Chains A and B, each alone.
Chain A
């Protein structure tokens, strides 16, 4: 520890700390303008100058490390003069448009002027500022307001890893410019700008900052669940901000910063609708509830089915499953988790007794090696990308990216493994073998925890690396190099995503990755971990609440449901159809009534065209949702629900963190919180009282067994119990060797960074940067089928066909076609079979 004195106060800090950090500890405030804790110090503004006894020149506190015994003075006549004159210089040609500047009232330049009594201007110069930049989507840049603090440049590069922003030109003409191709439109540049230079176009001129009500809540655009402040005024959300003390360090992505607009969309459902003689008309809630109850009750329990959603809270999902199981006597419940997350859940539970991620997301940022497997992290969970940026950029971590197509993280990867579609498990097993063969595994750990170590060793001895290289299409040397990074590190974070969990042979690949996690050491120690990612906001909560036929809340097997039956005082209904069986049941006429809660099979489910046909057959369709779509048009009853900004409850993040959603505004029109809708229906169907939120939470705690140690009401986020396996409790899972499709084209559907599910396609922000669907292919393929960028391309698979505009890029290798699933226009999911996100496809010019 280093001892020093600041303004007469003795303080002790760790070696390497800066004077500014020491001052903070001593409770001494040193003025700053360019300092931003979460990025490296810049030293641009020079306002943090301090005097040190025996040192001739004033030093900047933000980037001067402390030295033992120094005596620091932060306030003096000399320092005041330097600071005042520096600010005077900053104000040369600074426009006096504060009244119409978006930063007015929350401008740090205003604050330092006020603090330093800057009231005159002795300097003059020609105004050579660059012109206002208005052609960037979503963000406007006003160079003459810029103090060139570089906060935006640094957050863009160091935190987000996009590196789009840079300083262009020299001297006073210098301005912040942008490489638009690299921009992720995360809005962090706007958030950190101390003045009104970087402006959000969606917020511009909408409000004065001091008029805004800030409601702390959580973003559910993805499963990383960043903490946010909902800024609202007069019943409208005007912007989303986040504080630097949050788990996400104040960083947001496009989903958090710009996609709230769907909440204010004219497409919002504002009143219950009831189909009368084939036409939907607004009705009272009472009429809607009555019709719903009648509809749900009019057929036998086995003919009723329901699909819930990762867009609903924990309490809502819990109520949904209970409503079906208890009041309707049906176990025909499921969700889109069926197509991915549930496979991960079941496979990892069987192998590792793990029901989600093994560690907190911030432990990725301190891992020494990271493997990202079958996952476009940047798109699926941007906050996880930022953790990887932290680990690789600042923590010297090695990064291995295994992905069929090029992703942003490739830039930082020490090894990229572009495995052939369908060969993921083979690659994972090969990596595991190298680690084991080279003696890089922690043998003591394996001996202690793995129940079938002999089997593991015997099986891996059979893995042929040359054959694996041939199957995966990756050179053996590269596989060995990558395995060396993972095996050589003290801590490993293993992250996998949609291309694994939603892909063909998902279970085999997940099992292979679980094996790799065991052998690479990802599962032990405080740093790193195993992180299965799902893009959807409350996917973990949806799984935890047991909204599927085979599981009960807490992940308890449905077959062992006695405690639930007892608590609910019912006999649990027998059987139960999953999503696929519900679809088949509708087609065969066995399922006649369907309740869709915040889910849209017409766009986001695989085989969406088949679902469309099936839904036309449904006798009674209830749709509870927030936006009017072609799905709501098909419904017999439409129950208008609430956006996450309009309701309270809890949601569970990818890393088992339980977050509290806080209601910032009332649901639009007559819309109601989804929990209230489900509670009212529960009361009406059961003939009992309406369950209160607190009762539901208590019941979840008591029955689930996994939410015991956590609370639902605290302000801070809290985590479920950490992963601590018992001895001999981890299981190696044998993985059958894979056959790789050799067909010409494989089509992959998936998420893109600019959209979150389907709701964001109703938000102006995301739509400005990604307005419609497309079909992405390599230039080689485009040449082969004779299309140019923008031409219509027809894709045909065994389950259907669709068409969309071609996008030609190097992000996909030859032979692989990618299309985002968010868009109703291309509706790529109609050609995707139920058990995969990757399918053999015929591609022709349309």
Chain B
């Protein structure tokens, strides 16, 4: 493990220059020892201090290089101290390392760096942190320069990245502060442009994203997190509500052909970014419409399908061909695709329901659904699914919630959710549980099915056992334990298990593709490039990670497209500075939940209007209505614009 010579990261000062040992692991600073194949990481400099691993590091030069990047590459110039202050810092540092420095320059550095505390956003503000650290702990190095005893020794390379806690936490790494600032300035068209740099299906992720970004929102440390997801929807709504044509246009054709398998979020995203680069992309999908699980697994009252179709149409308009009703492994083999295309992306999702593990579930009884995702799909595709009067759904995730609510809309008089823990532990979004409750869904918490009760080959009830919560398990949630002898039967006409999905990778069985799989039946990819062990075959989304979120699929799709573009044009799938630093910083972590922000709070988060409880359960009309733009601007005003810059020094 890499030794740490000096660290001020997280305000925890460790100084081993005069001896002593500490390593990154013991400091819980998750930095890599080397950067790609370029060399060893000698130091890291960023918003929370300095970490020096190589004792030959020229810290003053490191700080000067960092400040040059902050000023020239990232400083938005939207406030006076930031714009001018970082320039003063850059030039003063440059004077010092070129041997022109004077004693009073150190005072000027300190004064300018201190003044950055009053910047509009935290980009330049946090960039002062390592400068002040260096002035405090490496003052002798500065003095050596001032005395003319030292000349500058830069690292082999410096690699930097602009980030923010929300950007880092978002699996698609959308530049969230940028689009929020644009909404604040009433520039919805530009906001959507910023979103589309990382996310081509904003209508979807503005509605059904679990928004991990909001769990890393610094505003929450003051009052409540910014409603980042809904602001994305506002930008997206603005476009179609004004009949605007999206402005994107592909680059000149490259002559390369790419096959994308699956028109879900991962596939659509991958196709979008490849098409923009000028590649000829074709998508095949086993369904007859775009969206994959978003289309048939998320009910229309949450995600209206005409808007999903519009997103796909926008992607088609970039020259992407989509052929529906074609299933990999059934209608075409991966081998054929490999022969016909220059690269293949697998975005085949995870739509195989996990079994509940209860007696009778494999018997094909009438009234037993194969799984929540199947039930939702059968309803969405109007496949003649008849929903009886009394329905039990087993599970606590979003799919389970979708099932109980859809069952009501399909005519169930009683729709009951059975979950083995309590409401608090449910993985579903809490607002969705509230929504279900408002629609008169019944909840049976701390119950676990043990057996299907069947008469004449038809489900008439489910036997459940009472549960209680024990010690927390690996996931941090308290483990449910059965209460012996507490079994009883809940009568019902239908049981829908909704406890999770796995990928279906049967299409890999028709030959030896050399594609490794995990023990959870998902595809293995390499080094963040999303390329499988089969050169030219990439994978992303649920089939790579296991059933996860739309936004993760989007992140995968984009990352894959970037690597595929390099593979197609340069013959090699690799990570560039943006990708690699994205991973370095993601591993390090940006959000500090213990940070003291020290500003005036008390501003509540804005909520979009909503159709009221019982009336909405009658139909599939969208429940959440568009947030008025004036309200969105108020919400955007709450953003603290938590930009920050990190940089590694790479040595030989």
Supposing A46-B120, A124-B91, A148-B77 touch, asked if A171 and B83 sit within 8 A by C-beta, the answer is yes
> Residue A811 at the B interface, CB < 8 A?
no
Cross-chain contact A40 with B77 (CB below 8 angstroms):
no
Chain B nearest CB, measured from A355 CB (Å): 35
Cross-chain contact A170 with B87 (CB below 8 angstroms):
no
Supposing A46-B119, A123-B108, A413-B242 touch, asked if A59 and B79 sit within 8 A by C-beta, the answer is no
Residues of B within 8 A of A90 (CB): 80, 84
Residues of B within 8 A of A770 (CB): none
Nearest neighbor of A81 in chain B, beta-carbon distance: B115
> Residue A106 at the B interface, CB < 8 A?
no
Residues of B within 8 A of A124 (CB): 88, 91-92, 108
Residues of B within 8 A of A698 (CB): none
Count of interface residues, chain A, beta-carbon cutoff 8 Å: 55
Cross-chain contact B118 with A56 (CB below 8 angstroms):
no
> Residue B187 at the A interface, CB < 8 A?
yes
> Residue A244 at the B interface, CB < 8 A?
no
Indicate with 1 or 0, residue by residue over A39-70, a CB within 8 angstroms of chain B CB atoms.
01011111001001001111110011101001
Indicate with 1 or 0, residue by residue over B603-644, a CB within 8 angstroms of chain A CB atoms.
100000000000000000000000011100110010000000
Nearest neighbor of B87 in chain A, beta-carbon distance: A172
Residues of A within 8 A of B73 (CB): 170
Cross-chain contact A171 with B242 (CB below 8 angstroms):
no
Residues of B within 8 A of A44 (CB): 78-80, 120
Supposing A55-B598, A171-B86 touch, asked if A123 and B112 sit within 8 A by C-beta, the answer is yes
Chain B binder among A308-316, A393-401, A833-841: A393-401
> Residue A82 at the B interface, CB < 8 A?
yes
Tell me the complex Cα distance, A60–B640, Å.
13
Tell me the complex Cα distance, A67–B603, Å.
8
Nearest neighbor of B86 in chain A, beta-carbon distance: A171
Residues of B within 8 A of A42 (CB): 78
Cross-chain contact B600 with A125 (CB below 8 angstroms):
no
Tell me the complex Cα distance, A46–B71, Å.
18
Tell me the complex Cα distance, A158–B71, Å.
28
Nearest neighbor of B630 in chain A, beta-carbon distance: A396
Indicate with 1 or 0, residue by residue over A395-439, a CB within 8 angstroms of chain B CB atoms.
110000000000000011111100000000000000000000000
Q: Which of A55, A56, A126, A170 is most buried by chain B, counting CB atoms within 10 A of its CB?
A: A170
Chain A nearest CB, measured from B131 CB (Å): 14
> Residue B1 at the A interface, CB < 8 A?
no
> Residue B567 at the A interface, CB < 8 A?
no
CB neighbors of B among A101-136 (8 A): 122-126, 128
Tell me the complex Cα distance, A406–B242, Å.
15
Cross-chain contact A172 with B628 (CB below 8 angstroms):
no
Indicate with 1 or 0, residue by residue over B60-76, a CB within 8 angstroms of chain A CB atoms.
00000000000111111
Cross-chain contact B118 with A49 (CB below 8 angstroms):
yes
Tell me the complex Cα distance, A220–B633, Å.
36
Nearest neighbor of A126 in chain B, beta-carbon distance: B91
Supposing A126-B91, A171-B72 touch, asked if A148 and B118 sit within 8 A by C-beta, the answer is no
Cross-chain contact A56 with B596 (CB below 8 angstroms):
yes
Supposing A59-B599, A123-B88 touch, asked if A89 and B81 sit within 8 A by C-beta, the answer is yes
Chain B nearest CB, measured from A113 CB (Å): 13
> Residue B184 at the A interface, CB < 8 A?
yes
Nearest neighbor of B241 in chain A, beta-carbon distance: A414
Residues of A within 8 A of B120 (CB): 43-44, 46, 60
> Residue A86 at the B interface, CB < 8 A?
yes
> Residue A461 at the B interface, CB < 8 A?
no
Chain B nearest CB, measured from A803 CB (Å): 36
Nearest neighbor of A59 in chain B, beta-carbon distance: B600
Tell me the complex Cα distance, A396–B117, Å.
36
> Residue B602 at the A interface, CB < 8 A?
yes
> Residue A100 at the B interface, CB < 8 A?
no
Chain A nearest CB, measured from B252 CB (Å): 23
The total of interchain contacts (Cβ-Cβ below 8 angstroms) comes to 146
> Residue B186 at the A interface, CB < 8 A?
yes
Residues of A within 8 A of B28 (CB): none
> Residue B111 at the A interface, CB < 8 A?
yes
Residues of A within 8 A of B88 (CB): 89, 92, 123-125
Cross-chain contact A92 with B87 (CB below 8 angstroms):
yes
Supposing A44-B79, A90-B84 touch, asked if A125 and B186 sit within 8 A by C-beta, the answer is no
Cross-chain contact A57 with B598 (CB below 8 angstroms):
yes
Residues of B within 8 A of A64 (CB): 600
Chain B nearest CB, measured from A216 CB (Å): 32
Nearest neighbor of A91 in chain B, beta-carbon distance: B84
Residues of B within 8 A of A128 (CB): 87
Tell me the complex Cα distance, A122–B105, Å.
9
Cross-chain contact B84 with A89 (CB below 8 angstroms):
yes
Residues of A within 8 A of B236 (CB): none
Chain B nearest CB, measured from A6 CB (Å): 14
Query: Which of the residues A86, A126, A393, A414 comes within 8 Å of B186, measured between beta carbons?
Result: A393
> Residue A147 at the B interface, CB < 8 A?
yes
> Residue B85 at the A interface, CB < 8 A?
yes
Indicate with 1 or 0, residue by residue over B296-329, a CB within 8 angstroms of chain A CB atoms.
0000000000000000000000000000000000
Tell me the complex Cα distance, A134–B188, Å.
31
Query: Which of the residues B78, B108, B187, B601 comes within 8 Å of A150, measured between beta carbons?
Result: B78
> Residue A157 at the B interface, CB < 8 A?
yes
Chain A nearest CB, measured from B65 CB (Å): 15
> Residue B90 at the A interface, CB < 8 A?
yes
Query: Which of the residues B118, B186, B634 comes within 8 Å of A58, measured between beta carbons?
Result: B118
Chain B nearest CB, measured from A502 CB (Å): 28
Chain B nearest CB, measured from A814 CB (Å): 19
> Residue A167 at the B interface, CB < 8 A?
yes
Tell me the complex Cα distance, A411–B238, Å.
11
> Residue B185 at the A interface, CB < 8 A?
yes
Residues of B within 8 A of A45 (CB): 79-80
Chain A nearest CB, measured from B89 CB (Å): 9
> Residue A174 at the B interface, CB < 8 A?
yes
Tell me the complex Cα distance, A51–B218, Å.
21
Tell me the complex Cα distance, A169–B77, Å.
9
Query: Which of the residues A40, A55, A123 comes within 8 Å of B185, measured between beta carbons?
Result: A40
> Residue B424 at the A interface, CB < 8 A?
no
Chain A nearest CB, measured from B146 CB (Å): 16
Cross-chain contact A63 with B74 (CB below 8 angstroms):
no
Residues of A within 8 A of B74 (CB): 170-171
Cross-chain contact A172 with B84 (CB below 8 angstroms):
yes
CB neighbors of B among A500-541 (8 A): none
Chain B nearest CB, measured from A414 CB (Å): 6
Tell me the complex Cα distance, A423–B600, Å.
58
Tell me the complex Cα distance, A218–B520, Å.
77
Tell me the complex Cα distance, A124–B89, Å.
9
Cross-chain contact A65 with B115 (CB below 8 angstroms):
no
Nearest neighbor of B85 in chain A, beta-carbon distance: A89
Nearest neighbor of A63 in chain B, beta-carbon distance: B637
Tell me the complex Cα distance, A757–B637, Å.
44
Residues of A within 8 A of B603 (CB): 65
Chain A nearest CB, measured from B326 CB (Å): 33
> Residue B519 at the A interface, CB < 8 A?
no
Cross-chain contact B242 with A154 (CB below 8 angstroms):
no
> Residue B330 at the A interface, CB < 8 A?
no
Residues of B within 8 A of A92 (CB): 84, 87-88
Q: Could you show 23 A-B contacts with beta carbons less than 8 Å apart?
A: A44-B79, A44-B120, A52-B600, A55-B599, A55-B600, A57-B117, A67-B601, A82-B118, A92-B87, A123-B88, A124-B92, A125-B87, A154-B185, A158-B186, A170-B73, A171-B71, A171-B75, A172-B75, A174-B75, A174-B76, A174-B77, A396-B629, A413-B242
Q: Which residues of A contact B (CB under 8 A)?
A: 16, 40, 42-46, 49, 52, 55-60, 63-65, 67, 70, 82, 85-86, 89-90, 92, 122-126, 128, 147-148, 150, 154, 157-158, 167, 169-174, 393-396, 411-416
The 10 closest A-B pairs by CB, nearest first: A56-B598, A174-B77, A172-B87, A89-B84, A171-B75, A125-B91, A171-B71, A67-B602, A396-B628, A123-B88
Q: A123-B108, A125-B91, A174-B76 are in contact. List 13 more A-B contacts (CB 8 A).
A: A44-B79, A44-B120, A59-B599, A82-B118, A123-B111, A123-B112, A125-B84, A125-B88, A154-B185, A169-B77, A170-B77, A171-B83, A171-B87
